[in-house]
Structure 1
């Protein structure tokens, strides 16, 4: 359907499906023209013209809203009223806002049985209904409505109960299937394209406004505030007596006489210092921009930074321990990751400890792997001996090449350069 600044109202009388019945109570595909089967409202409020046409870019037919900024209403009246009290009921329909939706609705109203003599062409906004369901969007409003009307057993009046926090309307221009499932357990489930978007309970005051079951107590509309009512939450204790040693001139706070200055405290240290990691931008022009000054940071932050730096320096020294040579690359990778992400320093320390424990475990309990025994056939002894000599020569050449490569290749950085 094409909607833009349109209030689209499609009305179907008591339409639904029940899971306990194989066949739907009502189904409309619009494969054929709606004329003669659906009745367009003739009320003055509804000037929009319905059309039976293909959806843009598809071969499927449907009801098409032809004009912008107009209201539409069309009614399909069932032969017999449907009682929705028994079993699970499913209300479902598909709509497409192929031109988007700026301000309007594309919802259905499931009508109650009307008064004798009522005709479908006389439908208007005041026609009694039981359920209103579907997308509605305008300004700050963006929701898939679900409203049901319930007859108050005491007053006899029908009251609208609105679903709180309904799901939002999809913002694209594709077709979407809107489904409302009403269960005998008083549970409501709303789905869009088969995906559950909202669950609620008809009897819960947290899900519907106003609540279907009224509160046990309500404010008394005739109640009035007493003339001598005191708005103050607290008042002075009339029985309180001032202590004998009370000093009216004593300050609110005093120095802690037992406090001791921490070791290494710098009395003359400024609260802020230049950021040691800041550098002048490459495009900085002293003549135009003025003399560049490094941004200030709190001295405490510098202390923390230096403390973290010392921790990483120690970790790099540990990585250089000779018996950890086989695991050095793995340890250095973990340390470098911690330098790049200081917020996970604790995690990095834990990871390094785990790596160290794993290494010690392997060294202590790993042992040596047994050498596989190879029994050569007598017919191939000569060939094996020749091959061994060739292999030894090749091995010697490879060792010389490896020594050259090691000398030429740069040593992997084992600590951060400052």
Structure 2
């Protein structure tokens, strides 16, 4: 027990030291050439992040500590609410050249049964837009992060890409996203966009998915549309026969086929079981029932004695009138149908002819929209969602360094506490068992000699 206390004390001192270091590290990373944007939430978000004034977003954001340690984050404080908050960047971040790393931490302190915990990286907005008007209609370039509800359990990565032919923005979803971790610890999510069109998704620094933006196997729908598409104006000819089988026109119903024969008939061979009480009803008046004293025949109607099951029938195979049971009719055939044969006029399943896709285009790499702001716009049934250490960088090493200095100490400390708790619980259970065993010994062998038991918690 003393050793556990010393371990916890050393962990606490270590974590406190790391937090102090983190404050300095945050400043270093914020000014690093490879770090484009970094939010540690060491200070209050008020004045820096703008809460949406849209009436639909009633959820209250709080600057709060994470459970179990002193690191602060941005907290979803209420259940069953919509939330929206945004931070505009000093200047838009271009994604077309070089590597871009998107990274942030989330802790689901009360779990996540139905809700989102993702970030939206907004593209430059239309003229007149302000951060206070941020909502689900505010266009984004990338959406990334956990989302879970019902059958949905994924770490989203969605790219909104502009079709250069139509000007329309299309959502392209990563086909095989990783699942959301099911525990309540802090986890860090990283998306690495490489200049060779590669996308890597990391959870806690471990690669969970690798994809190619230009591959139709990795994104739905594919970034590059189909070259040929079904002609929307093509129509199936009226005489097109899609029936592969047809009733045989030469078949005739057999003369002995009786369509009117019933499915079931009386079993003429059945006999009444021995001991059947034909003269006894299945139910009788309850002999113990009495008409209520306050019963008024004029208001309540004529009182009827309630029925009970006839006790004489309990030991008999049955009571009352015996009727022959039904059995399946051996002559039953049902309605006659002609057998099916191959259709000699079968033309196959009709499909419209294909034509060149007027919206088709070719690109060597995605035409990413710049990131002008970072927003959180979610609906969730759970509170206690804590966002922290939001990073945009152009270097994987910077992202790893921040993971190692901010996320890893918190995660390791919580894991150690979780592993230590079962040891304490087992110790308590063993102690209780020893005490109960001691009492039983005294009861069995008397109390002349005390049974000495040393309990160590």
TM-score by length of structure 2 reads 0.46
Select the structure that is richer in helix: 1
Within a 5 Å distance, the mapping from 1:271-310 to structure 2 comes to none
| Structure 1 unmatched runs, 5+ | 1-17, 236-418
| Per-residue Cα deviation, 1:148-203 (whole angstroms, up to 9, x for no partner) | 11111110111111111211100000000000011111111101001111111111
| Structure 2 unmatched runs, 5+ | 1-28, 247-457
How far did residue 23 of structure 1 move?
Answer: 3.0
How far did residue 22 of structure 1 move?
Answer: 4.0
Instruction: Tell me which residue corresponds to 1:131.
Output: 142
Q: Is 1:73 equivalent to 2:88 in the alignment?
A: no
Counterpart CA distance in 2 for 1:183 and 1:175 is 26
Instruction: Tell me which residue corresponds to 1:357.
Output: none
| Per-residue Cα deviation, 1:34-64 (whole angstroms, up to 9, x for no partner) | 1111111111111011111110111101111
- Name the structure, 1 or 2, with higher relative contact order (CA <8 Å, separation 6+): 2
**Correspondent of 1:144 among 140, 155, 173:** 155
How far did residue 231 of structure 1 move?
Answer: 2.3
Counterpart CA distance in 1 for 2:181 and 2:73 is 20
Q: Is 1:158 equivalent to 2:133 in the alignment?
A: no
- SS class of match (2:230): coil
How far did residue 233 of structure 1 move?
Answer: 5.5
| Per-residue Cα deviation, 1:264-305 (whole angstroms, up to 9, x for no partner) | xxxxxxxxxxxxxxxxxxxxxxxxxxxxxxxxxxxxxxxxxx
Instruction: Tell me which residue corresponds to 1:86.
Output: 97
**Correspondent of 1:106 among 117, 139, 143:** 117
TM-score by length of structure 1 reads 0.50
Counterpart CA distance in 2 for 1:23 and 1:82 is 12
How far did residue 232 of structure 1 move?
Answer: 5.0
Counterpart CA distance in 2 for 1:46 and 1:231 is 53
Counterpart CA distance in 2 for 1:233 and 1:199 is 44
Counterpart CA distance in 2 for 1:135 and 1:214 is 28
- SS class of match (1:109): strand
Q: Is 1:57 equivalent to 2:52 in the alignment?
A: no
Higher mean C-alpha deviation, range 217-226 or range 205-214: 217-226
How far did residue 73 of structure 1 move?
Answer: 1.1
For this pair of structures, how many residues does the alignment match?
A: 216
How far did residue 223 of structure 1 move?
Answer: 1.7
| Per-residue Cα deviation, 1:66-108 (whole angstroms, up to 9, x for no partner) | 1101111111101111111110110000010010001000000
How far did residue 121 of structure 1 move?
Answer: 0.9
Counterpart CA distance in 1 for 2:168 and 2:178 is 29
Counterpart CA distance in 2 for 1:232 and 1:23 is 65
Within a 5 Å distance, the mapping from 1:4-403 to structure 2 comes to 22-232=33-243
How far did residue 234 of structure 1 move?
Answer: 9.1
Counterpart CA distance in 2 for 1:29 and 1:186 is 29
- SS class of match (1:231): coil
- SS class of match (1:218): strand
Counterpart CA distance in 2 for 1:234 and 1:141 is 41
Select the structure that is richer in strand: 2
Counterpart CA distance in 1 for 2:158 and 2:128 is 26
